[in-house]
Structure 1
Amino acid sequence: MNTATINNVQEVNFDGLVGPTHNYSGLAVGNVASMSHGGLVSSPQEGALQGLLKMKSLMDAGYAQGVLPPQQRPDIGALRDLGFSGSNREVLACAAKEAPQLLRAVCSASSMWTANAGTITPSMDSPDTRVHFTPANLQSSFHRYLEPQTTGRVLQAIFRDERHFAHHPVLPATPAFSDEGAANHTRLCGEYGEPGVHLFVYGRQAFGDVRSGEREPKRYPARQTLEASQAVARQHGLTASQTVFAQQHPNAIDAGVFHNDVIAVGNGPVLLYHEMAFLDEEGTLDELRYKMATPLIPVRVPVEAVSMEDAVASYLFNSQLLSNPDGTMTLVVPGECQEREAVWRTIQDYLLAGNNPISEVMVKDVKQSMRNGGGPACLRLRVALSEAERAALTGRVLLTDALYDDLTAWVNRHYRDRLAPDDLADPQLAEESLVALDELTQLLKIGPVYPFQLG
């Protein structure tokens, strides 16, 4: 089993299934890939199968792999809340005519990027020795603000046993507590079962005196606030000795780095990052070194090797960094890394040949996700679980060959191979999605989690 363990603790990557309404609407301000591909024709079927194939290949390589379901889309209830009325067909038609931007938003399949689903603290770091969950409020964009309620129900359905799991309320959906989840959170440690230090990265501060030297981006909004990160840490019982709060470099945000996981990735004691990741690079590293029980292994990629443009276009730092039992690490990169000469050369000559634990690179095709601005790391939510905690999971959510086959067949039964923006008003698409999701909850054995199932 190629997953680093101690005291039977494993890191499980829970990937989000690409939903039936996966489309390119260009909704995410500051996400260069999303904005540049807006209006293109998508393939929900191809996207879902690409995601499943990535999960399967990692499972086959020995890494623990889980699955999370997509959201109910289109969210017709949200349109009704905004004043549209009549039958579902009439609501969709009226929205398409009067407010097509709202229709695109309520059809977004953005929940596939489960790195934004919430923030997780494993039991070995929490005072009550339970795994703690806080769904992200995602208030910075309307299409993602629609997700937290269903996300919370999904997490509570899977991580149901109160002896092992604790669930916290979503933070207030206001700009002051803007929370984008684990995309701005990294746990660094020795082995997974050992105590860790939690690196929270934020883009701006909402209250009080701005910290010395801090400044905000000028082109794109900073999505994560310091106050949100601090609140999640308090909810989970994390102490000052367990946390580091670092500001993301505003120039990186303005270059299209909307989350920290687009410019840095960490696992175990390794932090792979671009030199423009943090505003106070040395201060951040010094505090991590001081608080970590295991020596930090920073792997810094200078701008001379990989420009900000190449970093954003390739999503090199939105790769998955996976630990192996022999102490080495595997980097799972999107295919776009091979298309940028400077990036591929850096991987071969600097990362693989360098003095660091990264010894292998796996290339995965997740192009349907990448065109909307989500790479391999966006697609997964990491949860470190003990053997007892894994046994306490509800449902059929840990990937096996049989589950992979069932999910692949499910996608092929229910997903369209082509979806243009104009198709989002098709009431048949809404019906197809409900049928597919109802079958999926039965397949995963997680019970009712969607609004249409709850009445």
Structure 2
Amino acid sequence: MTTAVEANADGLIGPTHSYAGLSPGNLASSLNGGQGSNPRAAVLQGLEKMKRLADLGLPQFVLPPHERPDIPFLRSLGFSGSDARVLEQAWKEAPTFAAAACSASPMWAANAATVTPSADSADGRVHFTPANLHTNLHRSLEHAQTKRALEALFPDPARFAVHDALHPVAHLADEGAANHVRLCAGHGEPGVNLLVWGRDAFAHWDGPWPARQTRQASEAITRRHGAHGVVLAQQSRAAIAGGTFHNDVVCVGALETLFHHELAFEDTAGTHAAVRAAATGFDPIFVEVSSADLPLADAISSYLFNSMLVSLPGESRLTLICPTETRDNPRAHAVAQGLVASNGPIGRVEYVDVRQSMRNGGGPACLRLRVVLTEAEIDAVHGPMRMNDDLFGVLTGWATRHYRDRLAPADLADPALLTETREALDSLTAILDFGDAFYAFQRT
């Protein structure tokens, strides 16, 4: 049996972290749109979460922020002159595009890519397809730089295959690992890859909010990865209408266990049956929470299912790492405590403070990309991006020096913020050993 672990690669929250309310269907994003943010607190919360996972014994890696404001994007719209002039013109003449160009949304690494581990791929490599995030303008700007970050973290083509994003059209709308759960007997053994789609690309969609993942996108990714053990399931239309913009808001899994709300799937019984049929060498365990115990609105506001379900070294039962909002919601907290008190697969619940992310609709699971890696694959990863005591200290000092502690949406137009952001990213490339041509502004 091949030994493997599930590592996490978290998005490092960027200096332009703000609440611009850019994502229809993301209720927290819409509710807090226009309010002031604290980028420094946000990045420090993210770093504390990464350090917590590393201290628990799991491999933890850092994905760098994207260059924001995205001046090349604004130039493509016809704005010209100095970079500061481009930013000024865009905010005056096309503020919606300017806001998209400033978004720090790449922080949510669950949307960075879909990952197929080597145990499940046809050629024995780990495969990544960056998500095109076609549904939202601000997120559709991410995939090219996401690919550069993944290539930096996973540089060995003999072990890793980093693909281009799918063609950016509505028929192939792809939101990445936020709609993917892998179940298995052990991380190094063949597993079941459950990919959840919201709509058929060729069928009429009449929901109040976008269904962001198409069935055709999920099918294309599994073909290009040569993925085995694939189960495609439809996301619940009721859940999407209620504000479940990604399936990871109502579903999470690890090893044999799938933990989900009763409204996670359009056909729950059929999904369970398909997973059982695809499982090899293990019996899937389904932990389902009813709407009576946890109404959908509470599931969304507490982000109980957007927690990280992890297998910790030396522990026989799984640990659920929840946002503090779960603890503060009486219904969600009762469900979490009931899991621990039972004889089920989840034996411990821990809480992390990611409030700055939560106010934009992103919990602990949104901030990380799960990647199953063997020992040899971990050795081939770019070492300076692995979280440890030294990197945590360096990045904490870096963030404290370069990030503002208060940012209103109007501040995104400040040309000084453009300068500050570039200084921060230029320094970061040295810390993570990327060279001096990782970002567009460095290459020009």
What interval of TM-score do these two structures reach, taking the shorter chain for normalisation? over 0.9
For 2:250, give the aligned amino acid. I
Question: Does the 8 Å contact 2:84/2:418 carry over to 1?
Answer: no
User: Which of 400, 406, 413 is equivalent to 2:394?
Assistant: 406
For 2:390, give the aligned amino acid. A
Partner secondary structure for residue 419 of structure 1 = coil
User: Which of 112, 126, 134 is equivalent to 1:139?
Assistant: 134
1:221 maps to: 210
Matched, 1:178 2:173: yes
User: Which of 265, 283, 300 is equivalent to 1:278?
Assistant: 265
Question: Does the 8 Å contact 2:3/2:187 carry over to 1?
Answer: no
Cα-to-partner distance string for 1:351-410 (whole Å, 9 max, x where unaligned): 112332111111111000000000000000001111111111124111110000001011
1:45 maps to: 40
1:79 maps to: 74
TM-score by length of 2: 0.97
Aligned counterparts, 1:404-443, within 5 A = 404-443=392-431
Matched, 1:328 2:317: yes
For 2:442, give the aligned amino acid. Q
User: Which of 330, 355, 365 is equivalent to 1:341?
Assistant: 330
Distance (whole Å) between structure 2 residues aligned to residue 174 and residue 431 of structure 1: 34
User: Which of 295, 316, 333 is equivalent to 1:307?
Assistant: 295
Q: Could you list the runs of 5+ residues in structure 1 that have no partner in the other structure?
A: 1-5
Runs (4+) of structure 1 moved beyond 4 Å? Answer: none
Partner secondary structure for residue 317 of structure 1 = coil
Q: Could you list the runs of 5+ residues in structure 2 that have no partner in the other structure?
A: none
Distance (whole Å) between structure 1 residues aligned to residue 359 and residue 183 of structure 2: 30
Question: Does the 8 Å contact 1:217/1:250 carry over to 2?
Answer: no
1:316 maps to: 304
Distance (whole Å) between structure 1 residues aligned to residue 159 and residue 183 of structure 2: 22
1:94 maps to: 89
For 2:386, give the aligned amino acid. L
Question: Does the 8 Å contact 1:244/1:288 carry over to 2?
Answer: yes
Distance (whole Å) between structure 2 residues aligned to residue 346 and residue 167 of structure 1: 39
Q: What is the CA distance between 1:57 and its match in structure 2?
A: 1.4
User: What percentage of residue pairs aligned between the two structures are identical?
Assistant: 52
Distance (whole Å) between structure 2 residues aligned to residue 260 and residue 124 of structure 1: 24
Distance (whole Å) between structure 2 residues aligned to residue 150 and residue 400 of structure 1: 25
Q: What is the CA distance between 1:216 and its match in structure 2?
A: 4.6
Distance (whole Å) between structure 2 residues aligned to residue 46 and residue 192 of structure 1: 34
User: Which of 340, 363, 368 is equivalent to 1:352?
Assistant: 340
TM-score by length of 1: 0.95
- Considering only aligned residues, what root-mean-square deviation do their CA atoms show, in Å? 1.2
Stretch deviating more after TM superposition (28-37 or 89-98):
89-98
Matched, 1:55 2:50: yes
Cα-to-partner distance string for 1:231-258 (whole Å, 9 max, x where unaligned): 000010024xx11000000110011100
Matched, 1:167 2:162: yes
Q: What is the CA distance between 1:217 and its match in structure 2?
A: 5.5
Distance (whole Å) between structure 2 residues aligned to residue 217 and residue 430 of structure 1: 40
Q: What is the CA distance between 1:100 and its match in structure 2?
A: 1.7
For 1:238, give the aligned amino acid. A
Partner secondary structure for residue 305 of structure 2 = helix
Aligned counterparts, 1:237-316, within 5 A = 237-239=226-228, 242-293=229-280, 294-316=282-304
Distance (whole Å) between structure 1 residues aligned to residue 207 and residue 147 of structure 2: 33
For 2:375, give the aligned amino acid. E
